[in-house]
Structure 1
Amino acid sequence: MSTCDDPPEGPAVPLSVVTPSPGRGPGRVVIVSASVGAGHDGAAAGLAGQLAAHGYLVDRHDFLDLVPAGLGRLLSGVYHRLLIWAPVGYQRLYAATEHTRRPGAVWRALFRAAERRTLRAIPPDTHAVISTYPGACQVLGTLRRRGLLTVPALTYLTDFSVHAMWVAPGIDAHLAVHPIPAAEAHARGAANVTVAGPVTDPRFTPATAGRRRAARARFGLPDDAPLALLVAGSWGVGPVRRAATEIRDSGVAVPVVVCGRNQALADQLRRDGVEHAYGWTDDMPRLMRACDVLVQNAGGLTSLEAFAAGLPVASYRCIPGHGHTNAAALDEAGLAAWITAPDDLARVLTDLLHGPRGRAQRAAGLALHRTATGPLPAISSATGDRPAPLPPVAVTRRPVRRRIGVMAVVAAVTVSLGIAAPLAYAYAEAPAHVPVAARHQHGAAR
């Protein structure tokens, strides 16, 4: 494993121009993300990889750098400190803005300041611009409405719950990872919502028994004990010490904690007696292969990666704001159990590790990845491009009986979740979805 005591300053994922695969390229796409945590950048990296593989030339930009006078970095720092020092204040701020139709005056001024730099960052041969960050969505939508941006602008919704800031008039299309956020976005007035599914690093795959043993040996983890991977985002925020101690004291699983860039937290956890605590790691795919369940507190990219890795997921001691609303939406989707009371921790973890709930969530998470169309059809439809075909991949034939069994499980989960259903179904359910998330958020905040 690679850990980083003093991570480099700047974006969590280096911004770059992604060179397309050999062959005729269909065009250039610009992706605007933001290094606020790592989830927005992670989604941007996944989108860039898929587009480049199909022949697109991809430029990536950090929205924080497009806001002049260092205000973007200042904004990110304030958000970070609110989560650490005043989580209740951030919860109130999030709730107050969750259902507003229009950003406040301060936000509008900030977005206006970013318009000129954003336009300059878009080359003349660009075919489309995609945002993975709400602030960039607002700027791109305004530029489209005023006719200053003449190519399609798309939003990729990285969250399972959709804050009002994600939906901006002028955006041509919205791509969601699941019908529940698609329904929420539609209920908020988003245009042309499509369920595209998640984009994650292809290294996140289910582990065989042999690969799990090798991963545990690589990290020095126990051979036989159930392992609960506790993650706290790239910033390592939230009541992580309390959650780690409670998991350990439950006796159900051994906590393995990843603290992101908060190396001080990892050091403190080891002093608390939590043996397996790490700072920044570049090998999350292998660490997930070593573990049996994921416990998370924000509902972002790491949850999607765990679904692809075949891990059941629990949301516990979530951070305020989107941590609560994402937990509610994931629970409603049947993808992650939201543990709202410490007394329920041992019971739910046991069910996820050994019971029917864990088996159902594993199947649902894998189905989410395997049945998704991906973002490429929606993007190519918006641009009018014809993506280059992927090179042929050698396929290992599986026994027919096993293949039929896997297909049956995936089909059953897909039908039960409505993943393959027409988006109109999700739209029809939208009035039910949004209040459920709101009720969960209110209850968790009390």
Structure 2
Amino acid sequence: MPDQLHPLPGSAPSPSTPPPPGCGPRRVVVISASVGAGHDGAAAGLADRLTAQGFQVDRHDFLDLLPAHAGRLLCGGYHRLLTWAPEGYQRLYKATEHSSRPGAVWRALFRSAEHRTLRTITPDTCAVVSTYPGASQVLGALRRRGLLTVPAFTYLTDFSVHALWVAPGIDAHLAVHQVPAAQAHAQGAAAVTVAGPVTGSRFTPASDGQRPAARARFGLPEHAPLALLVAGSWGVGPVRQAAVEIRETGVAVPVVVCGRNQALVARLKQDGIEHAFGWVDDMPGLMHACDVLVQNAGGLTSLEAFAAGLPVASYRCIPGHGRTNAQALEEAGLTAWIRTREDLGPALTELLHGPRGQAQRAAGIALHRSAPGPVPAIAARTGYGPAPAVVGHAGRRRLALTAAVAATTLSLGVAGPLAYAYTEAPARFTAVAHYLDGDRR
């Protein structure tokens, strides 16, 4: 049986149409942003898959499309806010999380990027894909005004969907899982499709021989359980505190990746954290060496860990998207959100040695195998592929509901009937379940 894309109710993609004139080379423009590494990582994975299917791909950084170095100022301000005033960022994020449209300052900033964005669209372009909310807002505005004449897509890189991700005018929103898809649909996103994640092909479960070889290569203990602690490419958040607390549980040895934050590496060494690394080029190898991933942002590294067969825990999450992603990932049955220090040791023990860890490993691997990725949806709308298979209206509801309930049930180690999940699941999951099952109250 062929793989199928699974649109949400009321959001099925339109049938494929003939290729637009001048689209012989099948060129796709992908616009990301070098804000951390997650958006760029998703763009790189997407570009690899598009290229493998015969598309030519041009990649652009949205920060470079803003005038007068505004993009770098924006990125620097965001970094400083996360580092110096994290709770201020939390208040800003929460205040705008469900806004129906960007504020006046954001609209002016996005409008200033329109001219340069249009210049990236060559005559042989047949589609544009954004992996960053700001770029999606610009592309949507250009589509609404008829200035962009090829389909525009948003690939939702987060598991929680901030309002900025949803841009009127975008032709289709592609999500990695039913939970972010339902959030996007609830906020009015067009043609929401569960397309699945994109990660590097080297992120696979470790074989028996790969694990000891990887530990030797990184100078890690040969036999001890290892908890890989990651904090994004910037190394932000209470990383030192989390590392020390993992060590003090006695359950696992912390192995910390600090990204480009070399000062954090030095501080961790001073704290007695022996295995602290800066930027790591061979993350697949390091994941092969470790037994569990502990993360604080819920971004691309979590998806890579799922592909590598690692159970994942969220702990000491950064404000804003770090916390909402932790909630959405837990809701999806893919991670454990450890909210207190007292819960850290027992939760790590269960993930390392118990049924919850086994269930999360299976759920993470299944996430990468259950959907064909975003390329078929993009190809269908550009006329270079068949229209995505559309499940019947009731069938779509049952399929999405079953997947969401099953994932949550597996993660909790619960083997009870689905009715139990309806009554015992967290409030946000129950709301999604009611929506998918047709309850619009």
TM range, normalised to the smaller chain? 0.7 to 0.9
User: CA RMSD for the aligned pairs?
Assistant: 2.0
- What is the aligned partner in structure 1 of residue 54 from structure 2? 55
In the TM superposition, what is the alpha-carbon distance from 1:415 to its structure 2 partner? Answer: 7.8
Q: Write the distance in 1 (CA, Å) between the matches of 2:359 and 2:207.
A: 19
- What is the aligned partner in structure 2 of residue 296 from structure 1? 295
Letter in 2 for 1:158: T
In the TM superposition, what is the alpha-carbon distance from 1:413 to its structure 2 partner? Answer: 7.5
SS state at 1:130 partner: strand
C-alpha contact (below 8 Å) 2:334/2:407 kept by paired residues: no
C-alpha contact (below 8 Å) 1:196/1:373 kept by paired residues: yes
Correspondence 1:210-229 to 2 at 5 A: 210-229=209-228
C-alpha contact (below 8 Å) 1:297/1:319 kept by paired residues: yes
Q: Write the distance in 2 (CA, Å) between the matches of 1:414 and 1:336.
A: 13
Quick one: higher RCO (CA 8 Å, sep 6+), 1 or 2?
2
Q: Write the distance in 2 (CA, Å) between the matches of 1:169 and 1:386.
A: 25
In the TM superposition, what is the alpha-carbon distance from 1:416 to its structure 2 partner? Answer: 1.6
C-alpha contact (below 8 Å) 2:376/2:385 kept by paired residues: no
Q: Write the distance in 2 (CA, Å) between the matches of 1:61 and 1:185.
A: 24
In the TM superposition, what is the alpha-carbon distance from 1:355 to its structure 2 partner? Answer: 0.2
Query: Does 2:23 correspond to 1:30?
Result: no
Which stretches of structure 1, 4 residues or more, deviate above 3 A after TM superposition?
412-415, 431-436
Letter in 2 for 1:211: Q
- What is the aligned partner in structure 2 of residue 99 from structure 1? 98
Q: Name the CA shift for 1:26/1:367 in 2 (closer, same or farther; >3 Å).
A: farther
Unaligned 5+ segments in structure 1 are: 1-23, 388-411, 419-428, 437-446
Letter in 2 for 1:417: A
Letter in 2 for 1:221: L
Of 402, 406, 423 in structure 2, the residue corresponding to residue 416 of structure 1 is 406
SS state at 2:200 partner: coil
Q: Write the distance in 2 (CA, Å) between the matches of 1:323 and 1:386.
A: 36
Among the aligned pairs, what percent are the same residue? 76
C-alpha contact (below 8 Å) 1:371/1:414 kept by paired residues: no
In the TM superposition, what is the alpha-carbon distance from 1:417 to its structure 2 partner? Answer: 3.2
Letter in 2 for 1:42: G
Q: Name the CA shift for 1:350/1:194 in 2 (closer, same or farther; >3 Å).
A: same
In the TM superposition, what is the alpha-carbon distance from 1:55 to its structure 2 partner? Answer: 0.4
Letter in 1 for 2:41: G
- What is the aligned partner in structure 2 of residue 66 from structure 1? 65
Q: Write the distance in 1 (CA, Å) between the matches of 2:430 and 2:217.
A: 43
TM-score normalised according to structure 2 size: 0.84
Q: Deviations over 1:332-386 (max 9, x none)?
A: 1110100001100000000000001000000000000011121111001111114
Letter in 2 for 1:160: F
Q: Write the distance in 2 (CA, Å) between the matches of 1:415 and 1:310.
A: 21
C-alpha contact (below 8 Å) 1:367/1:413 kept by paired residues: no
Correspondence 1:61-210 to 2 at 5 A: 61-210=60-209
Unaligned 5+ segments in structure 2 are: 1-22, 387-401, 409-424, 433-441
Q: Write the distance in 2 (CA, Å) between the matches of 1:433 and 1:149.
A: 37
Query: Does 2:248 correspond to 1:249?
Result: yes
- What is the aligned partner in structure 2 of residue 16 from structure 1? none
Letter in 2 for 1:416: A
Q: Write the distance in 2 (CA, Å) between the matches of 1:434 and 1:220.
A: 45
Letter in 2 for 1:257: V
SS state at 2:199 partner: coil
Q: Write the distance in 2 (CA, Å) between the matches of 1:241 and 1:177.
A: 31
SS state at 1:202 partner: coil
C-alpha contact (below 8 Å) 1:25/1:57 kept by paired residues: no
C-alpha contact (below 8 Å) 2:332/2:404 kept by paired residues: no
TM-score normalised according to structure 1 size: 0.83
- What is the aligned partner in structure 1 of residue 436 from structure 2? none
- What is the aligned partner in structure 2 of residue 314 from structure 1? 313
- What is the aligned partner in structure 2 of residue 46 from structure 1? 45
Correspondence 1:290-439 to 2 at 5 A: 290-386=289-385, 416-417=406-407, 432-433=428-429
Letter in 2 for 1:229: L
Q: Name the CA shift for 1:434/1:78 in 2 (closer, same or farther; >3 Å).
A: farther
- What is the aligned partner in structure 1 of residue 274 from structure 2? 275
Paired residue total? 380
C-alpha contact (below 8 Å) 2:37/2:233 kept by paired residues: yes
In the TM superposition, what is the alpha-carbon distance from 1:26 to its structure 2 partner? Answer: 5.6
Q: Write the distance in 1 (CA, Å) between the matches of 2:283 and 2:372.
A: 25
